[in-house]
Structure 1
Amino acid sequence: MSELTDGLEYILDWLESTNLELFDCYNPGLTRQQIDKIVKDLPFKLSEEIYELYQWRNGIADLGFNNYYPPVEFLFPNQLFSSLPTSFSTLQDSVSNYYDFWQFEQSNMMDKPFDDYKGWDQKWFPIALFENKRILYVVGDIEPSPVYFIDFIFIENPLRVYKSLTSMISVIAECCELGLYQLIPDESGEEDDMIIRIDEEKLELEKEIYQKYNS
């Protein structure tokens, strides 16, 4: 396996060892041919890392309550600091979201809200989001692509930038290994809902790990 797939599998194994009731809440991966068919009309090429990601798993499954055991959604950074999960989108949803964002951007460009307005770029491809507010995206035609984590309201100022998808997953996997995350009850959720949060006393160590893979 590659470093990226190794990291993804490590995170999933860590989740299962942390919470015995956790199930694999991700869809099975796609074949390369299936990915090619889904993305064939995009105006850019996706990086090999994105192909590898969707060959590993195709986003969060729509499982409902799954016999009253809700999934712990954990893969991308926003979930470590916020109660709003940035869910790993299926490739089909990512393509649909891309066209929605770009259509919205084209309408804005016809009537800019202000002179220096800068919005969604045509080569930005979303792979995870929360209600179109917090978004994780990669850039088409770049190999490997950086990964940007943004608040859509402040699109020009990313919350974080990773050198690549591999570097982002490596940061999360190492934080799992070193015990920086904790599984706690979700006070705003249902009785059995759990969330994963970074230990606030270990925030500086998390920043050091981020720098290690992204300097």
Structure 2
Amino acid sequence: MSLKTTLSSLESWLNTSYRAAHGSLQPGLSDQDIDALLADWPHRLSDDVHALYRWHDGFEDAQVELLPGLSFLPLAEALALGSALWEVSAAQAKKGGVDFFPSAMLPVFSDASNDAVLLVQGAEGPSPSTPAQVVALQRGQRLYAFERLEDLLAASLDLLRRGVYRVDQERDRVEVTDEAQAQAAWRRYPLLYLEGVSVAELAEPGPDDSGPDDLDDAEDLSDEQQAENLMSNLMSMLGLHPDDLDPATASLDELSDLAELVPPSEWPDALQQRFHELTTHEPANAPADPPAALPAPKDPE
């Protein structure tokens, strides 16, 4: 099945079975529009990603999910998110850490919790297709990767049709109902990997960190602590950090998005009180439900 056929079938299914997603699809871009948006990006989009954005330029409503936990970003928004991630990644590499998000990656599918499908682009020139990786930045893990974007979408369409990916019509979310069936469907397509891989040395430098001693301090941190430091910086850059919200003016949408990243019990007291006043149905110090996200697949036998 070609990518064009897969996308056409996916749109037909959305139209009949997931109207919120179908209604949120934006008109596709021309090749000239795509080239203009990518004028300052040093890499080339592969043919299949060009085809994806000619099909539709993402969702108008970023809260609507296409894949479990993931919305379809317009190209301009994917570049904006990518820019923030590239800057943080480059800063980590400069301090001796891992370049965890090089500029050859573009987050075409993402959500507020920063689980993202990363499309790895060739640096030398255009290519027919590109691998599609699902990476959980918050946990520092790569979850799975298909050799081609087309295979990711074809597998997802199959799972949507069979109800293994279940659409919550009230919240416009997609959930995995059976992890084993999902993995079995994924294995019918060429995969680069299907496992959670820890990403090490993601230390976040502080404002006064500038010398070799700081690198020694970073080495003393666990992988989990380093990933938490990284996420704290990413959240601040994206305006989703408890310290960056004004309790007097924070909206329920902003606080709900924040609650998917940080339990309210860890917020400043004034922000907890604001959240409590806006929701009224849960205590101010109640931890938030965990964000809807793909479960980390088990290693294949």
Quickly name the TM-score band, shorter chain normalised.
0.7 to 0.9
When the two structures are aligned, how many residues end up with a matched partner? 187
Structure 2 match to 1:189: none
Q: % of aligned pairs identical?
A: 17
Shift of 1:22: 6.4
Q: Look up the SS of the partner of 1:101 in the other structure.
A: helix
Q: Look up the SS of the partner of 2:102 in the other structure.
A: coil
Q: Could you give the per-residue CA deviations for residues 31-87 of structure 1, whole angstroms, max 9, x where no partner exists?
A: 011101111221111100110000000011149xxxxxxx7x3423xx2xxxxx321
Where does 1:111-126 land on structure 2 (aligned, <5 Å)? 111-112=95-96, 117-126=98-107
Q: Look up the SS of the partner of 1:153 in the other structure.
A: coil
Shift of 1:173: 1.4
Partners of 1:121 and 1:53 in 2: CA distance: 22
Specify every segment of 5 or more residues in structure 2 that has no aligned partner in the other structure, as ranges.
192-301
Q: Look up the SS of the partner of 1:144 in the other structure.
A: coil
Alignment partner of 1:24 is 2:8: no
Structure 2 match to 1:160: 144
Shift of 1:21: 6.9
What amino acid does structure 1 have at the position aligned with 2:90? Q
Shift of 1:111: 2.3
TM-score normalised by length of structure 2: 0.56
**Mapped contact 2:20–2:172 kept (Cα < 8 A):** no
Shift of 1:135: 1.2
Partners of 1:128 and 1:23 in 2: CA distance: 16
Alignment partner of 1:204 is 2:171: no
Partners of 1:110 and 1:22 in 2: CA distance: 40
Q: Could you give the per-residue CA deviations for residues 16-41 of structure 1, whole angstroms, max 9, x where no partner exists?
A: 32256765211100001110111122
TM-score normalised by length of structure 1: 0.76
Partners of 2:155 and 2:61 in 1: CA distance: 27
Partners of 1:74 and 1:22 in 2: CA distance: 7
Structure 1 match to 2:87: 103
**Mapped contact 2:11–2:22 kept (Cα < 8 A):** no
* Bigger relative CO (Cα 8 Å, ≥ 6 apart): 1
**Structure 1 pair 109/205, CA: closer, same or farther in 2 (3 Å)?**
closer
What amino acid does structure 2 have at the position aligned with 1:129? S
**Mapped contact 2:86–2:102 kept (Cα < 8 A):** yes
What amino acid does structure 2 have at the position aligned with 1:75? L
What amino acid does structure 2 have at the position aligned with 1:196? V
Partners of 2:150 and 2:181 in 1: CA distance: 19
Q: How big is the alpha-carbon RMSD for the aligned residues of Structure 1 and Structure 2?
A: 2.5
Structure 1 match to 2:120: 139
Specify every segment of 5 or more residues in structure 1 that has no aligned partner in the other structure, as ranges.
64-70, 80-84, 186-191
**Mapped contact 1:11–1:172 kept (Cα < 8 A):** no
Q: Look up the SS of the partner of 1:119 in the other structure.
A: coil
Q: Report runs of 4+ in structure 1 exceeding 6 Å deviation.
A: none
Structure exhibiting the larger radius of gyration computed from Cα positions: 2
1:170 to 129, 154, 162: 154
Structure 2 match to 1:8: 7
What amino acid does structure 2 have at the position aligned with 1:133? N
